[in-house]
Structure 1
């Protein structure tokens, strides 16, 4: 049966409570930290040799679609009424808007060490200790909006710049691709600093803390953020129905990216699934 992913700002109090409770239980069972480990393992920059799947590659979107589905299945084993809500950061744009409320994700971190002190995922409440990361920090950290060096969330106009591109992805199929929907949404831009962080990437930077880097799945907002990214991919597909995942075929042996990116019908690690099989989610879930 097809289930629904909702805008987080429309969740009822009961839906908020059940989502939080399911997340905390998946964490308590030890399953959540396996998702964090997987994201760290597959966060491979395009400056390294070897296959890239999670980021800086055409599989950015299908990889995270499957990753979200796996987390959602874990939540639904706890409570089959729960689905992953999406956070529309083009509309809910302030540090006090949903989802940064005490009954959902809590707020920003305190100024001294960026430790989140409010909400159900605050370290002091005992249910959300960072066990897997790239540092030894045990508590969830955020620096919403970076007050010391302010950064704004992407706008609807920024998103439209990605949605309007009729081509899914283009060579060199990495963070330097200047054309194509995938990288315009993923958000690797030219230059350094804030000007180079666009759409998806800019949201990670706006949140700060663990969301900046490979261990970003430690912050529960990761899933709401990527659910919205997934929704944007769905909108792009609806707008460009004849434009599919690229590259369509494995890259030639002489191509600089040969062996580093996954073609449409090749299996995408760590799963035995292809990007083509993940292009249509309509038989599993829908967005409202």
Structure 2
């Protein structure tokens, strides 16, 4: 292929010579055109040129049409969405399951899912789609549309979806996460297991939410609307790919700060298989975006200079002690007064947190003087004592195992001095704003029928 002046460009030469090798990575049924080898650069969807956006929509529409023609076509949208949504799906190894959440598999699984889909987009209708990449939605910035990027609000576009709350109302706030929280609390986190989540046990129990998942991921999924708010339907909404591309970008930022040739990506189980198609890697294959197997590598057009200088992953000595509760119920727990000494990092660990099949709920961790009774304060009064929070996304197919949730209460403890009390309070988060008050009351009644968490402990490091 040549440029507009008839010259054979280096990029097109590389693409042409690598086509045969990349084609072997794609499964039978993806067609004769391979995913091209030139590494795509993911851009903010609001920064795409009109041509780039049109080509992305064109490729997306082709994959959707393939899925409508055959639900079993692996290069069609129905199949690709089911990789995330279908919790009864039988994997090639005979295991059952879909997307991975609440463990360190969260980032690698979604990276592989997006990379495979991106390869299908590029192979959809070349040369027009040869340079297509998945655009990311930067949800730390004000939306260019009413609640979403304008590309997702065009009703004539294949990127539009009815299962979103498009209007801004008192109950459907504008979606924007604090960029400084991501930059400071998440990207600068030196503990991989706090940032990403802990590994699951062989039976699927245990694990934990990382900072990104318990915060913006679980919260914004439900805020977008009913389709994205349900793990069994989330990737039917075309916004899923751009929403998760920004999640992946946060991980890429973390890796730039904390990993290197001498400090590699610290996976606990690097050889765990990730069952997505057409890219079926092990976790270690996803360790860097630019070094994944040919045809699936990519980069980001993003100003990485906003992040701190490189800092190695830390492995600090730590101690842990259980906290005794003096008041406990299904939606609130208050501990006895806790005494601490010295300036240390302090993590509140909440074990055996229930993942409910049909209800998403929030947990807020308050750190306050022992004399303060949080239960008697109004919501605005409580805010001064709020140390950290988490959203527990409803589980559907994953709901049979509880998980663990960590809260960083360091700053709150430091502000109070050597004695404090912790109170956890939860409430339900309805998936949409229809009949909001009755939905919230019904959901809160459901979460009041069972304990939502087990023991609390304080980790000092």
Q: Is the 8 A contact 1:146 1:208 kept in 2?
A: no
Distance 1:55 1:42, change over 3 A: farther
Is the contact made by 2:87 and 2:97 (CA closer than 8 Å) also made in structure 1? no
Match of 1:141 in 2: 163
The question of 1:279 aligning with 2:279 is answered no
Looking at secondary structure, tell me which structure has more strand per residue.
2
The corresponding residue for 2:227 is 210
Residue of structure 2 in register with 1:238 after alignment: 256
- C-alpha displacement at 1:277, in angstroms? 1.2
TM-score where L is the length of structure 1: 0.69
Distance (whole Å) between structure 2 residues aligned to residue 205 and residue 86 of structure 1: 18
Shift of 1:244: 2.4
CA contact (8 A) 1:106 1:121 kept: no
How far residue 206 of structure 1 moved from its aligned partner, in angstroms, is 2.1
> RMSD in angstroms over aligned alpha carbons?
3.0
Between Structure 1 and Structure 2, how many residues are aligned? 228
Change (3 A) 1:216 1:168: same
Post-superposition offset of 1:147:
2.3
State the match for 2:133 in structure 1. Answer: 83
Partner SS, residue 147 of structure 1: coil
What's the CA shift for 1:177?
Answer: 6.6
Displacement, 1:145? 7.3
Contact 1:86 1:226 in 2 (8 A): yes
What is the distance in 2 between the residues matched to 1:97 and 1:147? 10
* Counterpart position of 1:222: 240
Helix, strand or coil: the match of 1:269?
coil
* Aligned mates of 2:198, 2:105 — CA distance in 1: 13
Matched residue, 1:183: 210
* Cα shift at 1:183: 1.2
Q: Matches of residues 78-157 of structure 1 in structure 2 within 5 Å?
A: 78=124, 79-93=129-143, 95-96=145-146, 99=149, 101=150, 104-106=151-153, 118-121=155-158, 140-144=162-166, 147-151=169-173, 152-157=175-180
Q: 1:27 to 1:210 in 2, by over 3 A?
A: same
Deviations 1:255-286 (A, max 9, x none): xxxxxxxx112223346521111111214211
Q: Distance in 2 between matches of 1:202 and 1:66?
A: 22
Q: Distance in 2 between matches of 1:70 and 1:56?
A: 22
Q: Distance in 2 between matches of 1:222 and 1:43?
A: 20
Structure with higher Rg: it is 2
List gaps (5 residues or longer) in structure 2: 1-37, 68-75, 90-95, 292-296, 302-461
Q: Match of 1:149, SS?
A: coil
SS at match of 1:212: coil
The answer to whether the 8 A contact 1:42-1:54 is kept is no
C-alpha change, 1:84 and 1:270, in structure 2 (3 Å) is closer
Unaligned runs of 5+ in 1: 45-49, 108-117, 123-127, 129-138, 188-197, 248-262
Is 2:141–2:176's contact at 8 Å kept on the other side of the alignment? no
User: Once superposed, which parts of structure 1, at least 4 consecutive aligned residues long, lie more than 6 Å away?
Assistant: 174-178
Structure 2: distance between partners of 1:270 and 1:20: 23
CA distance in 1, matches of 2:206, 2:273: 24
Is the alpha carbon distance of 1:105 and 1:25 closer, same or farther for their aligned partners in structure 2, counting shifts above 3 Å? same
| Secondary structure of the corresponding residue to residue 271 of structure 2 | coil
Superposed CA deviations along residues 92-148 of structure 1, whole A, max 9, x for unmatched, are 33653762x2xx2226xxxxxxxxxx23138xxxxx8xxxxxxxxxx7311147625
- For the 8 Å contact 2:235–2:241, the answer to whether it is kept is yes
